[in-house]
């Protein structure tokens, strides 16, 4: 099968037999797991005892061979097996007098290169990009450009986007700027970097949710771990939602909407997001409206809805119609000081998370436990998955109403249900959305001052990076609070916030400052993010997003299917953009 290799163990030692166990390199402080019993050799027939096992190829393995009597360790081997490889482990005595045992690993058949499909896909998409670049060069020819513009009618499309989705226009004033002035012609345009950032995160999220070609590095970390693309996707989406909140609320208030009217919109949008998450995107929706017994209550859209409600409510509550004296006295902090009550509330929320995480008594678990349970921590706390976070969800929501197959269940063999979108982690999703809100305020307060905006993005990324380095001690497992996407730990928030500011900086520079890139194709799904997300969940198992494979153990077929489905959603979002259809809730 994928991510497996065949290992044949040949035991040339006389009685007793051997016990083969293994431990994955990705499993921190885990117990060795029994794989097979290898019988002793038949001395009279000179026939070695043999046993065949399948071993994991995703991470390096440590193999441990013990005598079946007395549990004496004979040898220990660390090796990273290759996918579909065929190996032999020969156990024999080097010297009869000293009884020295040797364990030799032999490659019978070399593994395949399972990464070639990724290279081929990369070349295909680079070829498509080259064609688009050539097309753009042709667009510089006046007759060609005029004909295309006449067909596409982009001015009308941009007008609809800007008016419907809250882009600042020329007559709008920034009420929080001590020296307000009119937006320039360049400022009329919607901040395409936000759509590009959102769309980029969404496209990768769709690809990962569809399977990511069944590659292990496109899956979420089992528990603590390095921050890679899948682990940071949802947090980036939450971050850019916070940025959009700052821009959209500012636009609505400047257009004359009352705070009560805006509040009603916030409440309605939050309600719809939570409702869609529970009913439409819930994994049990296909069982019908009466399947409430096992309905998962937390989820991605549910967390987005509640996070939006809190962050948008905070912004609406403490927004000011006029600038105060603090901004004039400290212009470098004009995007922070007027909102000091918001910062106090966010800090109080974070203190609440810290207190519940490290001080709440959890039955049968050490106080402040952050581990995965199962076979982790040498099997001492098998039912403590997630510590206080898991306990709160199971207590308030019930075990049947949270996620039943967490990412820790494979590597750490956990049996307790645990929800990565649970109650306690929502506090830190509010924090990262608030960081995104701060990015939005920066673009408002320093409009058209590109250097100021980019410098502040850099400063915020440095601050977040320093906090992350302190919390994690720059290590995977040994920090005060490790990076953990399942727990949405504060170190996870500061680390993803650091990279979110950097990514937004790069996209903002390329798209809105230098205009070297239009943001396509990511900007199209970014403008219809809710439709694309819900659509890819609902139609996940339907053609043409999924079809029967000839070889279900082929990375190439899975990658082709997942990339095709993801690309199809990008095309759909582009067609909706062309027809000026933008689904808002």
Total number of domains constituting the chain: 2
In terms of domains, do 95 and 214 share one?
no
Query: What is the pLDDT at residue 319?
Result: 81
Does the structure show a pLDDT above 90 at 495?
yes
Give the DSSP letter of residue 27.
S
pLDDT band at 177 (very low <50, low <70, confident <90, very high): very low
pLDDT band at 304 (very low <50, low <70, confident <90, very high): very high
- CB 210, CB 536: distance < 8 Å: yes
Does the structure show a pLDDT above 50 at 181?
no
Does 122 reside within a domain? no
| pLDDT winner (highest mean) among 124-138, 225-239, 424-438, 533-547 | 424-438
Q: 94 or 554: whose pLDDT is higher?
A: 554
| Neighbouring-strand partners of residue 47 | 42
Per the listing, tokens 């050799």 go with: 41
Q: What is the pLDDT of residues 314-330, one digit of tens each?
A: 999 988 755 555 566 66
Give the DSSP letter of residue 407.
T
Q: Return the CATH number at 84.
A: 2.60.40
In angstroms, the Cα distances linking 411 to 56, 71, 113, 152, 372 are 10, 25, 24, 51, 10
pLDDT band at 154 (very low <50, low <70, confident <90, very high): low
Query: What is the pLDDT at residue 81?
Result: 95
In terms of domains, do 96 and 200 share one?
no
Q: How many CA atoms lie within 13 A of 358 on its CB side?
A: 10
Does the structure show a pLDDT above 80 at 548?
yes
In terms of domains, do 197 and 105 share one?
no
Query: What is the pLDDT at residue 293?
Result: 77
In angstroms, the Cα distances linking 535 to 110, 281, 300, 344, 575 are 42, 9, 14, 38, 15
Intra-chain end-to-end CA distance of the chain, in Å? 43
In terms of domains, do 88 and 217 share one?
no
Last residue of a domain, one of 58, 78, 109: 109
- How many angstroms separate the CA atoms of 334 and 176, rounded? 9
Buried-exposed string 85-118: b where 16+ CB fall within 10 A, e elsewhere: bbbbbebeeeeeeeeebebeeeeeeebeebeebb
Does 483 reside within a domain? yes
In terms of domains, do 435 and 568 share one?
yes
List active site positions: 220
What is the pTM for the complete model shown? 0.87
Q: How many residues does the chain have?
A: 585
In terms of domains, do 213 and 80 share one?
no
Round the average pLDDT of the chain to a whole number and report it. 86
Owning domain of residue 350: 192-319+335-505+513-579
- How many angstroms separate the CA atoms of 234 and 237, rounded? 5
Last residue of a domain, one of 93, 109, 125: 109
How much is the average pLDDT of 43-49? 74
Does 484 reside within a domain? yes
| Residues contacting residue 288 through CB under 8 Å, at least 6 positions apart | none
10 Å Cβ neighbour count for 452? 15
Does the structure show a pLDDT above 90 at 491?
yes
In terms of domains, do 208 and 63 share one?
no
Does the structure show a pLDDT above 60 at 13?
yes
pLDDT band at 509 (very low <50, low <70, confident <90, very high): very high
pLDDT band at 160 (very low <50, low <70, confident <90, very high): very low
Q: What is the pLDDT of residues 403-439, one digit of tens each?
A: 988 989 989 999 999 999 999 999 999 999 999 999 9
Does 461 reside within a domain? yes
How much is the average pLDDT of 503-529? 93
φ and ψ of 6, to 5 deg: -100, 130
Q: Which of 276, 319, 333, 375 is nearest to 585 (CA)?
A: 276
Query: What is the pLDDT at residue 570?
Result: 96
Q: 271 or 170: whose pLDDT is higher?
A: 271
Does 362 reside within a domain? yes
Does 249 reside within a domain? yes
- CB 93, CB 100: distance < 8 Å: yes
In terms of domains, do 212 and 310 share one?
yes
Q: Which of 180, 301, 198 is nearest to 250 (CA)?
A: 180
In terms of domains, do 101 and 219 share one?
no
Last residue of a domain, one of 109, 124, 157: 109
In terms of domains, do 267 and 394 share one?
yes
Does 170 reside within a domain? no
10 Å Cβ neighbour count for 516? 8
For the ranges 37-41, 164-168, 193-197, 354-358, the lowest mean pLDDT is seen at 164-168
Does the structure show a pLDDT above 80 at 190?
no
Does the structure show a pLDDT above 80 at 153?
no
| Neighbouring-strand partners of residue 484 | 224
Does 119 reside within a domain? no
Does the structure show a pLDDT above 70 at 266?
yes
pLDDT band at 176 (very low <50, low <70, confident <90, very high): very low
In terms of domains, do 89 and 197 share one?
no
For the ranges 216-220, 346-350, 373-377, 577-581, the lowest mean pLDDT is seen at 216-220
- CB 66, CB 19: distance < 8 Å: yes
Does the structure show a pLDDT above 50 at 180?
no
Query: What is the pLDDT at residue 467?
Result: 97
């Amino acid at each position: 099968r994928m991510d497996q290799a065949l290992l044949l163990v040949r035991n040339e030692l006389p009685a007793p037999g051997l016990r083969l166990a293994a431990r994955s390199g990705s499993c921190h402080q885990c117990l060795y797991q029994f794989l097979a019993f290898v019988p002793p050799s038949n001395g009279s027939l000179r026939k070695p005892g043999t046993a065949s096992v399948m071993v994991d190829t995703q991470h390096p393995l440590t193999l441990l061979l013990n005598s079946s009597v007395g549990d004496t360790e004979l040898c220990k081997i660390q090796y990273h097996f290759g996918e579909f490889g065929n190996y032999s482990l020969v156990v024999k005595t080097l010297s009869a007098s000293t009884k020295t045992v040797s364990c030799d690993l032999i490659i019978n058949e070399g593994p395949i290169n399972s990464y070639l499909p990724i290279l081929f896909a990369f070349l295909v998409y680079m070829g498509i990009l080259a064609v688009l670049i050539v097309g753009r060069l042709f667009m510089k020819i006046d007759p060609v450009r005029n004909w295309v513009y006449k067909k596409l009618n982009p001015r009308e499309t941009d007008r609809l986007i800007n008016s419907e989705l809250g882009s600042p226009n020329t007559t709008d004033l920034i009420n929080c700027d001590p020296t307000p002035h009119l937006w320039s012609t360049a400022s009329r345009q919607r901040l395409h970097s936000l759509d590009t950032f959102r769309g980029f995160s969404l496209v990768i999220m769709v690809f990962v949710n569809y399977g990511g070609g069944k590659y292990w590095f496109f899956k979420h970390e089992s528990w603590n771990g390095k921050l890679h693309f899948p682990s940071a996707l949802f947090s980036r989406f939450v971050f850019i939602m916070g940025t959009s909140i700052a821009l959209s609320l500012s636009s609505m208030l400047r257009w004359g909407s009352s705070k009560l009217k805006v509040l009603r919109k916030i409440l309605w949008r939050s309600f719809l997001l939570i409702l869609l998450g529970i009913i439409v995107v819930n994994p049990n929706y296909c069982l019908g409206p009466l399947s409430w017994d096992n309905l998962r209550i937390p989820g991605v859209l549910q967390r987005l809805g509640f996070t939006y409600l809190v962050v948008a409510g905070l912004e609406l509550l403490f927004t000011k119609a006029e600038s105060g004296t603090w901004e004039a006295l400290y212009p470098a902090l004009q995007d922070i000081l007027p909102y000091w009550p918001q910062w106090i509330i966010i800090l109080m929320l974070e203190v609440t998370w810290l207190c519940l995480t490290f001080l709440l008594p959890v039955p049968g678990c050490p106080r402040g436990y952050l581990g995965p349970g199962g076979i982790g921590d040498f099997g001492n706390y098998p039912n403590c998955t997630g510590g206080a976070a898991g306990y709160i969800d199971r207590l308030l929501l019930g075990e049947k109403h949270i996620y039943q197959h967490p990412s820790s269940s494979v590597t750490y063999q956990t049996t307790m249900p645990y929800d990565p979108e649970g109650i306690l982690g929502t506090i830190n999703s509010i924090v990262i959305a608030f960081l995104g809100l701060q990015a939005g305020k920066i673009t408002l307060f320093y409009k058209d001052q590109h250097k100021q905006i980019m410098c502040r993005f850099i400063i915020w990324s440095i601050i977040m990076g320093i906090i992350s380095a302190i919390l994690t001690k720059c290590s995977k497992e040994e920090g005060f609070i490790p990076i953990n996407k399942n727990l949405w730990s504060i170190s996870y928030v500061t680390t993803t916030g650091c990279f979110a500011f950097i990514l937004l900086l790069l996209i903002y520079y390329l798209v809105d400052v230098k205009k070297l890139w239009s943001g396509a194709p990511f900007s199209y799904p970014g403008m219809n993010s809710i439709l694309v997300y819900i659509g890819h969940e609902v139609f996940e198992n339907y053609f043409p997003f999924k079809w029967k494979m000839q070889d279900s153990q082929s990375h190439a077929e899975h990658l082709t299917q997942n990339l095709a489905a993801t690309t199809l959603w990008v095309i759909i979002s582009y067609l909706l953009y062309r027809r000026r259809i933008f689904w808002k809730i």
